[in-house]
Amino acid sequence: MARDCIFCKIGGGEVPGDLLYRSDQCFVIADIAPKAPIHLLIVPNQHFTYLTGLSPSFYPVLGDMFAAARVMAETHGVTNSGYRLVINQGTNSGQQVAHLHLHLLAGQPMGAMG
Return the amino acid letter for 64: D
Maximum distance among all Cα pairs of the chain, rounded to whole angstroms: 39
| Nearest CA-CA partner of 35 in 111, 90, 99, 98 | 111
10 Å Cβ neighbour count for 85? 15
Helix (H, G, I), strand (E, B) or coil at 84: strand
Instruction: Please confirm, yes or no, whether 39 is among the known catalytic residues.
Output: no
Task: State the catalytic residue, choosing from 39, 47, 99, 101.
Answer: 101
Would you name the residues annotated as active-site residues? Answer: 101
